[in-house]
Structure 1
Amino acid sequence: MKQFNKEFLRDTWDIIKPYWQSEEKKIAWLLLIIIIFLNLFLVFINVLINLWYNEFYNALQELNAQAFWVAIIQFCILAFFYIVAAVYSLYLNQMLQIKWRKWLTDKFLKKWLDKKIYYHLQVFNNSTDNPDQRISEDLNLFVSQTLNLSLGLLNSVVTLASFVGILWAISGPLSFGIFGYEVVVPGYMVWAAIFYAIFGTWITAVIGKPLIDLNFKQQMYEANFRFSMVRIRENSESVALYGGEKREHKHLMTNFFDVFENYWKIMVRQKMLGWFTSGYNQIAIIFPILVASPRFFAREIQLGALMQIAQAFGQVQSSLSYIVNSYPSLANWHAVADRLRTFEHNISFIEELQQKNNRILIKESENLRVENLSILLPDNKTPLINQLNLSLNRSERLLIVGSSGIGKSTLIRTLAGLWPFGEGKIFLPPKDKLLFLPQKPYLPIGSLRDVLIYPNGDPDVSDDKIKDLLISLNLKHLINHISEVNMWSQILSLGEQQYLAFGRIFLQKPEWVFMDEATSALDEKSERMLYDKLKNELSNSAVISVGHRSSLLSYHEKKLIILGAGKWSLERISYINSEKSFIS
């Protein structure tokens, strides 16, 4: 699974390719071409510096001061152009990275949020751990590492092509006798560099192979640990009321133990790899001088040629040793790419699940109408509701009742297009005329204004109107905090949050309101106040409520009773406030 196989390469290419064919392809290719040119220019400067080595060290050997200072001036010129090229190569590389990352982030966010994928991934596919990390952190690493590793490989290939000829020419032939025959090896330093790099690459691959899987797991463990702390922050009041600090500490340390243990394995493996690569690279410094020194001491080459050979050998050996020097980065890149491609696979799985299982046809209509709707559990066999038929016009109000866990909320999810298991037809008004209120409201991070206009309210609504609304909702204590940005879900009680959710109704005035136990945290007096306000201010809006209290009967005209095992009953509410007509 974790190898560089055809499936991995194909999937990774499918992540890389779209950007380079997108609407931003012109600027992307232009930046890439300039970056490649600058990298090639840097290689060219290195070639000139290699030639400079010969002149500089020969000037030192010959005690030629004039040639020495000429060489110094030449080096300053070369260094100036090298610095300029290196700086702009990095700058444009980062520019391309952030543009590519922005495009990929937009693409992945659309995939994740489209067709309720984010919801179904959580409900039906637990193998997708921490999608937030995959989009924020993994995309960043993938883009930067893909560019840097690709450019590094290109740089190695060009450097090899540039220096192998130089090394071949200046190293000369190696002669030795074997079994009475004289063997001549032309360009022997090139062959020495090749064999040295092949040996190093093989050993590195053997030692470093486990790093791919270890890096993959480390990303997952780190994300799990971080998510556990976020969960505590999101539910801080509940944890504090339960006094669950010791339990949470134990759970966090259990998660961190995975981080610690896996990181320790990475440390050990990188230490083994470090022993080899450090020794490999250090030996590479002296190895060419040792091999070329016999010709120097035989006065066949001067000091300048010896240093030129050493520098050229280093360039060739480094180019051939690209995998040796880049293996930790390659292993980390492989892990990141694996997480992104599995993320895409899981999204595709959910899309297939939606197409395969969702035989519920949802069409647009003026009123709500349900025809032969059957809702099943995820096994696609066990019925929650079987062959439901109902219709509701604007200004009509329906109460959905039944035992806990019998399928009331699932019916609301189905009407919202969230539940894919079942069949039948649902006719719904346009989405901009609908508003769904879950039992626990979602309060986005922002001001109270942002909370109240979420998701489709008017952002230019006046402060006075919001203040009047808050006062009418028994939230007078919040009127001085309208523009205060905060995590309101952590500050307000569940009852206050449900008040704000109703505030959305009164501010946005949808024509169709679906409420799933939206007043469960409120007392009956507050519930009556909200439903009375709803009846007075949105008298022409349809209301579909899920609830357990008999007091809700007086605010609805129809009652849908979910009986279990697929059975249901739809009836008109003929007598008000009678607990006999209510099933809880």
Structure 2
Amino acid sequence: MTTTSAAAPRPPSLWPTLKGVGAFAMPYFQSEEKWRARGLLLAVVLLNLGTVYMLVQINEWYRVFYDALQAKDQPVFWQQIGRFGWLALIYIVLAVYKFYLTQILQLRWRVWLTDHYMGRWLANKAFYRMELARYTADEHGTPDNPDQRIQEDLNLFTSYTVSLSMGMFNALITLVSFVGILWTLSGSISVPLPGFLGGGELEIVGYMVWAAVLYCAVGSAIAHWIGRPQVRLNFQQQMLEANFRHHMVRVREYSESIALDGGERVERRHLDVRFADVMSNYFSLIRNQKQLTWFSSFFSQAAIIFPMIVAAPRYFSGAIQLGQLMQINSAFGRVQDSLSWLVDNYMSLAVWKATTDRLIGFEKSLAHQSQTQDALTTTESAAGITAQDLTVGLPGGRALLAGVDLNVAPGDTVLLHGPSGSGKSSLFRALSGIWPHALGCVGLPKDTMFIPQRPYFPDGRLRDALAYPDPAEKYTDDALKAALEAALLPALTDQLDREDAWSQKLSGGERQRLAIARVMLKKPAWVLADEATSALDEEAEATVYQRLIDRVKQAGGALVSIAHRSTLATLHRTRWALKPNAATGADAARYRLDVSQD
């Protein structure tokens, strides 16, 4: 299967990943929930210790039970059956609560991290700046699909980090607990030396321990050699899956435009390419997992008989009894399981590392946004909308406007016009204080409201969409209905409690009028409107614009509009015209701003 997508970035090495885990873990265990978090962690650790202790007791039970079988000692046999029942019951209780509290720890950690990162992503308009940075050459540009990082990756990270760390801890404790038992039970074995080494015999003390170490070291090395591509493949898989899902979301978001353009075949082709990338990488991942499964299955099955083969000479020589043989087999299995932790968890480790690396990229981007100082200073102004020495640029760095001074006084009506691509919307964003590629100082009155080209309406009740971002309960039904009527939407006045996807339900003109109704509801004194009526007919546009002007003048403010239609010129007293700049040179702005008045 072929693919046309660009090569995915390679994941970082292991050390940055481990440092990233510490950066994600420490804030939670030092947060306002630190005592609950530390208590849960301590409980999980103690339960792990308890389960290992019970395994040690069960290992000792093997020796007594099988010795009783070999001696045909019926009283001891039934006594050990009863003892096993108690041991098994205690072990089950500990195992159940270990699982339960481990899941609770993972859940609470995910809740805290999700709340933490949603807050940072939405604070100081970082979500907006990160999206702009996606298409620049900035090395700190946003990672793909931040929504996936918060929703899916945080869940995977907390789940795998808790399970793998507790699994490793359990393996270490089990190893420490059983290696001494195995060393004691192993005794020693004499191995004849070849003639070129001087002949004779070499006595190996605790040879079963060395056999387990050698067996697992070789197995871990082979598993790493086979499975190491999985880190890269899992890293790419998550990214490609997210890109495929993101494009389907875009199709849903722009469903009407695509349907009107008849773009179904093009979108299907784009989706097919992205899905082909997903499947191509997934097949590579499956092939590697198949190879690793071949080896790990052979490794685990061989481990069943390997200790019996190694310990058999001592059993058949009469040096040990059947009970000791079974105890050696059990202890060897525990040691081998502990030393084989890497082999058994390699696939999970690959997913965990890929997920952690993606979150590290997300964290770096958020940290970069929080450390970035805005070159544009926004202050509260009582005199009106002002701009001093304002420079507006593109994300790539080229200046659209440079050194602009503006002033909008109470009672003004300003129309900003110019050719497409001249930076009207960029100037609008700079005046609103959200454009990161601007320099200078902007002053805004406290009572200012903006109408963007594409207003946002949350799904749900119409009253919530109208009042957004304020709570709908802040306004009376009479006020909501009056705002709709003022924006020429009387047909919606009886649908305030209707739930719908209003961005899809309403036509372009209705959406623009609903955005104006929002202004009529909140009654700001200062309004900046970016192509706010481009979908309306001239008569409706003139009506709602006149009501907007009357509204702001009544409140002692002003209106700044971006529009292409000449029909709006008669409603505005001041003109801001963007015209190509005659100056040339790499540092010269592409446009200049001419101000004129009627």
TM-score, structure 2 normalization? 0.91
1:299 CA displacement: 2.2
Counterpart-to-counterpart distance in 2, 1:530 and 1:82: 74
Q: Deviations over 1:439-484 (max 9, x none)?
A: 1111112211111111235534233432343344343443443223
1:228 CA displacement: 1.2
Q: Is the contact between residue 413 and residue 549 of structure 2 (CA under 8 Å) also seen in structure 1?
A: no
Counterpart-to-counterpart distance in 1, 2:482 and 2:129: 38
Counterpart-to-counterpart distance in 1, 2:186 and 2:494: 82
Counterpart-to-counterpart distance in 2, 1:51 and 1:476: 83
Question: What is the identity, as a one-letter code, of the residue corresponding to 2:34?
Answer: K
Residues 258-297 of structure 1 mapped to structure 2, 5 A cutoff:
258-297=277-316
Given candidates 342, 366, 375, the residue that maps to 1:359 is 375
Q: Secondary structure at the match of 1:570?
A: strand
Counterpart-to-counterpart distance in 1, 2:12 and 2:570: 65
Q: Deviations over 1:157-180 (max 9, x none)?
A: 100000000111112111222244
Q: Secondary structure at the match of 1:481?
A: coil
Residues 482-561 of structure 1 mapped to structure 2, 5 A cutoff:
482-538=496-552, 539-540=554-555, 541-561=557-577
Residues 322-361 of structure 1 mapped to structure 2, 5 A cutoff:
322-351=341-370, 354-355=372-373, 358-361=374-377
Q: Secondary structure at the match of 2:500?
A: coil
Question: 2:158 maps to what in 1?
Answer: 143
Q: Secondary structure at the match of 1:459?
A: helix
Q: Deviations over 1:74-109 (max 9, x none)?
A: 122112112211221122112111211122112222
Residues 242-253 of structure 1 mapped to structure 2, 5 A cutoff:
242-253=261-272
1:63 CA displacement: 2.8
Given candidates 129, 133, 152, the residue that maps to 1:124 is 133
TM-score, structure 1 normalization? 0.93
- Residue ranges of structure 2 left out of the alignment (5+ in a row): 1-9, 136-141, 581-589
Q: Is the contact between residue 214 and residue 265 of structure 1 (CA under 8 Å) also seen in structure 2?
A: yes
Aligned residues: 567
Q: Deviations over 1:314-340 (max 9, x none)?
A: 110111111111111111111001101
Given candidates 432, 439, 451, the residue that maps to 1:437 is 451
Counterpart-to-counterpart distance in 2, 1:230 and 1:7: 33
In percent, how many aligned pairs have the same letter?
45
RMSD: 1.8
Out of 116-125 and 281-290, give the one that drifted further: 116-125
Q: Is the contact between residue 433 and residue 442 of structure 2 (CA under 8 Å) also seen in structure 1?
A: no
1:560 CA displacement: 1.1
Compared CA separation, residues 31 and 129, structure 1 to 2 (3 A): same
Q: Is the contact between residue 488 and residue 544 of structure 2 (CA under 8 Å) also seen in structure 1?
A: no
Q: Is the contact between residue 371 and residue 426 of structure 1 (CA under 8 Å) also seen in structure 2?
A: yes
Q: Secondary structure at the match of 1:2?
A: coil
Question: What is the identity, as a one-letter code, of the residue corresponding to 1:101?
Answer: R
1:129 CA displacement: 0.9
Compared CA separation, residues 60 and 101, structure 1 to 2 (3 A): same
Q: Is the contact between residue 145 and residue 329 of structure 1 (CA under 8 Å) also seen in structure 2?
A: yes
Q: Secondary structure at the match of 1:455?
A: coil
Residues 93-492 of structure 1 mapped to structure 2, 5 A cutoff:
93-126=102-135, 128-178=143-193, 179=195, 180-351=199-370, 354-355=372-373, 358-366=374-382, 367-380=384-397, 382-430=398-446, 433-456=447-470, 458-492=472-506
Q: Is the contact between residue 371 and residue 390 of structure 1 (CA under 8 Å) also seen in structure 2?
A: yes
Compared CA separation, residues 240 and 2, structure 1 to 2 (3 A): closer
Q: Is the contact between residue 578 and residue 593 of structure 2 (CA under 8 Å) also seen in structure 1?
A: yes
Question: 1:567 maps to what in 2?
Answer: 592
Question: 1:38 maps to what in 2?
Answer: 47
Question: What is the identity, as a one-letter code, of the residue corresponding to 2:424?
Answer: K
Question: What is the identity, as a one-letter code, of the residue corresponding to 1:118?
Answer: F
Counterpart-to-counterpart distance in 1, 2:471 and 2:173: 58
Question: 2:586 maps to what in 1?
Answer: none
Compared CA separation, residues 3 and 372, structure 1 to 2 (3 A): closer
Question: 1:580 maps to what in 2?
Answer: none
Where does structure 1 differ by over 6 angstroms across 4 or more consecutive aligned residues?
none
Q: Is the contact between residue 371 and residue 389 of structure 1 (CA under 8 Å) also seen in structure 2?
A: yes
Q: Secondary structure at the match of 1:548?
A: coil
Counterpart-to-counterpart distance in 1, 2:239 and 2:274: 11
